[in-house]
Amino acid sequence: MTHQPHRYRRSRIPGGVSLLLTLLLLTGSANAQFRLLIGQPHFTGYPSINIPFEILDNTSTLDSITTENFQIWENGVRMLPIQLDCSEAQIAPKIHFYFVMDVSYSMGFREDTTLYDLDSVKWRTAKQVFIDAYAKLRPQDEGALGSFARTFVQEQEFTTNKRFLIDATMGMGLRSGTAIYDAIEVASAIANEKEGKKVIILLTDGVDNSSRLTREQAITFAWKRGVPVFPIGLGLYFDVNQPFRVDEDTIRRIADGTGGTAYFAPTSEDLSRIFDEIIEHIYSFGCVLRYTTPDTCRDGGVRVIDVQADLNGTVLKERFSYTLPDLRSRLHLRLAMPAEALRAGGRYDIPVVASGEIRPGEATDFLIVVRHDPDLIDIEGIGSPGTVFDVSQLTVESLSPGVTRISGAAVMPARGIPYDEDVLFTLQIRVHDRNTLAETRLELEFPQASQICDIVSSAEGTDAVVHACPAFVVAGFDTTIVAMPGRIVDVPILLRSGIDFNQTLRYDLQVAYDDAVFTYEGFTVDGCISEHLHVTANPATGRLDIHAAEGMPSDTSAILLTLRFRTAMMKEAQPVSFRLSEASFVQKGIGILASECVPAIVLEGHRLLADGICRPLILRKNGLQLGQNSPNPVSSHSGSTFAFTVTGTAPVRLEIVDEFGRCCAVLVDGQLARGRHTIFWHPGSLPSGVYLCVLREGAETRTRKVLVTR
């Protein structure tokens, strides 16, 4: 890779800056010509931009150059006012050149290798360019020569006798070590003893491995003594086998920190040209055009500069560009969801965490959008205890169900974020009541943010689980079952409502029965809710202790499991006690951090009928019937369907009453045709609780329990 010399760089910025622009101006006389060299801009005092230029071989006087001779445009906009500073526009009457050469053993290597060169090409060439440079010095200038390896040696003190300098150069030999920073400090100290302008021209091909001083200490010494360093990096290249090689930044930093200029010579053949440029540069004098850009955002964008110079009637127009480093803040947002699942019916403060940079003391504009499932979550507002932004300065808007926008205009942060994490504010959310587990996602969008510059913004959403807990479970028996004498009867345990089939289930319950009438024969879970659970039933006198280990319930029926009994030979039909007791149901979400769900238990259906031989049960003909509503419990979001059968012989009234007997809703009131009917009912704003559905036809009445949840 070829390295070009960096001209007029007294402060370095990353990014591409256009190379040197040369304006050739001709005066009215054929013999009166001069060159105007425009260098790279300086950004040390940004947004003030300094454009240096040099005048070489000038036959005019600088008194004739004013700001009226120049116009500057940035991105097509004329910059006003501009300033012209020619305070350094003079050649020093006497300059003290201190030539400093690296004489470490690597100077005897072949180019770009670590092998010794028997012909010593690089070493001989370096000496020769030093000797050639002495010939370019003016008679009044003084030169000195120093060499450095592990230690610094002054080979020749300051003198105007070029023969002394040549002899000292020819007599230098190679030594071990490399102490660049110590050499700069010693040479600048010696040069500082001289009056007038002093410069150091330093040649090195290696990395500092022996200095007692740090790089910054050496730079500070040279800067305070007013001795600029013009370092030349010889053969600096990247080599994975030589990680100790000097990088270019070290050479540039020495030049920038001392007010010199950095140069790079890929090979020793480039040294002669570079020394010519250095001497020419030191002997030239220049001015600075200065203006303040109104666009102060360092966003990595390209700025196009047009310079127009009107000198001695000749108008010259030139264009170049510069690229500022992209120093925009980066900011990434995320939601710090709690480790446990969200609880149905719960309220949470969810921190909006920012990682990146927010600068203190700078007004901030931003726009954040949160998207969520409005059937599961509501965003009720934002909070700011101890957060970066005071929510009283922010605006919260609901754009549509499930879309909330939070914005701030010219908001002053309470503190900065120096590329770390902090909480901007908190989202106050409420989770809806529900009976079943649900997965949801909160999407976080960060389309715009700025502090002087636009902030490079990004955001990530997060998944969440809503851990619902059924309020109660309704379990019992089908009271219409008739057990025939001497036969097997299947008694299903009904689970009419309550459990969540998205969560695991385990349960314990006790069944009490009349062992004079029934003999336990076993149970089955085939086609039941407990089909995939490990269930055990331990019989005792007139009792079954049933336990189901944790597993996933099967959403196939409303039957928990089916018990099997043999009925005794009874002479007379009679009702038989058959009860559930000691019941407990526990549910738990899979793979989520959440507390266990333990719903309340509602038991119903406690009597069966056993038929007799001598006096059998007289079965009633089909008449008024009311089935259990489905689903039950009834959600305030879904509603439920009731099925019922009437005889058609009298007016029908179907109503919902509360536990105090008050009528809450009338579903049917009037004559219906004989047969089966269905009707849908929505509980509306009824509070959660246990209600009765009452069906009346003439003097006949049927009831069912109805559970309402919100």
Q: For 516-567, how does the pLDDT look when each residue is reduced to its tens digit (9 = 90+)? A: 889 999 999 998 999 999 999 999 999 999 999 999 999 888 889 999 999 8
Predicted confidence at residue 243, as pLDDT, reads: 53
| Average pLDDT, rounded, for the chain | 83
Name every residue whose Cβ is closer than 8 Å to that of residue 514 and which is 6 or more positions away in sequence. 542, 576, 577, 578
CATH superfamily of 625-709: Macroglobulin (MG2) domain (2.60.40.1930)
- Domain positions in the chain are 21-89+287-323, 95-283, 330-467, 472-610, 625-709
User: What amino acid is encoded at 247 in this protein?
Assistant: D
CATH class of 21-89+287-323: mainly beta
Predicted confidence (pLDDT) at residue 31 exceeds the cutoff of 60: no
**Predicted confidence band at 34 (pLDDT cuts at 50, 70, 90)?**
very low
Predicted confidence (pLDDT) at residue 349 exceeds the cutoff of 90: yes
As its CATH architecture, domain 330-467 has Sandwich (2.60)
Q: How many CB atoms lie within 10 A of CB 577?
A: 12
Identify the CA nearest to 388 among candidates 408, 370, 371.
408
DSSP string, 337-401: --SSPEETT-EEEEEEEEEEEE-TTS-EEEEEEEE--TTTEEEEEEE-TT-SS-GGGEEEEEEET
Q: How many CB atoms lie within 10 A of CB 473?
A: 25
At CA 293, angle to CA 289 and CA 296, rounded to 5?
140
Distance CA 488, CA 640 (A): 35
Identify the CA nearest to 100 among candidates 232, 6, 200.
200
Query: Global pTM?
Result: 0.49
Residue with tokens 């007799």: 612
CATH number assigned to the domain covering 95-283: 3.40.50.410
pLDDT tens digits for range 147-198: 999 999 999 999 999 999 999 999 999 999 999 999 999 999 999 999 878 8
**Predicted confidence band at 619 (pLDDT cuts at 50, 70, 90)?**
low
DSSP type of residue 45 = T
**Predicted confidence band at 93 (pLDDT cuts at 50, 70, 90)?**
low
User: Matching CATH topology for 21-89+287-323 and 95-283?
Assistant: no
Rounded alpha-carbon distances, angstroms, from residue 560 to 472, 497, 531, 563: 15, 11, 9, 10
Predicted confidence (pLDDT) at residue 362 exceeds the cutoff of 80: yes
CA 120 to chain centre: 56
pLDDT tens digits for range 192-247: 999 878 899 999 987 888 999 999 999 999 988 889 899 988 886 555 555 555 56
Q: What b-and-e string marks burial along 245-255, b requiring 16 or more CB atoms within 10 Å of the CB? A: bbeeebbbbbb
Identify the CA nearest to 289 among candidates 40, 50, 569, 580.
50
CATH number assigned to the domain covering 472-610: 2.60.40.680
**Predicted confidence band at 259 (pLDDT cuts at 50, 70, 90)?**
confident
